[in-house]
Amino acid sequence: MVPVREGFKQTDAEARAYPTGDIEGSVGFALGLIGMTVCDAVIRWARRWRDGPPSIPMPPKSSG
């Protein structure tokens, strides 16, 4: 049970409530990781295309 300070009465529901800061922090962390992953992919794509589109490997020609 959470200790009750003088002049502040806490209900049982408030005492058992899930701390929303933990959820907000977890969501922020996940969004940050997703954003960093997307930025990394865009940077890699831009570096690959910096000097023009990459050459497409052609299948070997059959002699026939």
| CA–CA distance, 48 with 30 (Å, rounded to integer) | 27
CB 16 within 8 A of CB 2: no
pLDDT at 23: 81
Could you state, in chain order, the average pLDDT of each consecutive group of 10 residues for the chain (64 residues)?
A: 60 66 86 97 90 77 68
**H/E run at residue 62:** none
pLDDT at 41: 94
pLDDT at 19: 67
pLDDT at 31: 96
| CA–CA distance, 36 with 30 (Å, rounded to integer) | 10
| CA–CA distance, 27 with 54 (Å, rounded to integer) | 37
